[in-house]
Amino acid sequence: MKIKMIDFKIMGDERGSLIALEEHHNVPFDVKRIYYIFGTKKDVRRGYHAHRDLKQLAICISGSCKFLLDDGKNKQHIELNSPTHGLLIEGLIWREMYDFSDNCVLMVLADNYYTANDYIRDYEQFLQESLK
């Protein structure tokens, strides 16, 4: 499955901590878009789609949430609970996000602009395309 955890270097001192994200250094793509998900309701589940051609790096900069990742053959559950690491998702991977904590802020960097056509929102369609 085309996913990877990336650990970020923490620049910290007695005042607190700082992490810098830089394209082609610790973010392995051109960053065209950044969005963040917050204020999620308890028991909400989001996602339910795959992308045809998009690289994304998801970082839980506050609180925690879980990802279900599915490449059509294998499924994996990953918890994001620290601003010090990010989940890189590439390729055709179905994703669902769940178990958002009250204070969760999930920030996502993407290598392209928002395009509705890049989404596969039907699971059967996803399975067909993932088998090609």
- What value, to the nearest 5°, has the Cα angle with vertex 83 and ends 101 and 29? 120
Nearer of residues 19 and 108 to ligand T46, judged by Cβ: 108
Task: Point out the catalytic residue in the list 24, 25, 49, 51.
Answer: 49
- What is the Rg, in whole angstroms, of the alpha carbon atoms belonging to the chain? 15
Residue 22's contacts (CB-CB under 8 Å, 6 or more residues apart) are: none
List 1, 8, 29, 46, residue binding ligand T46 (CB under 6 A): 46
Residues 94-123 interacting with ligand T46 (rule: CB under 6 A): 95, 97, 108, 114
Number of Cβ within 10 Å of residue 46's Cβ equals 14
Q: Catalytic residues, which ones?
A: 49
Q: Which residues bind ligand T46 (CB under 6 A)?
A: 33, 35, 37, 46-47, 56, 58, 95, 97, 108, 114
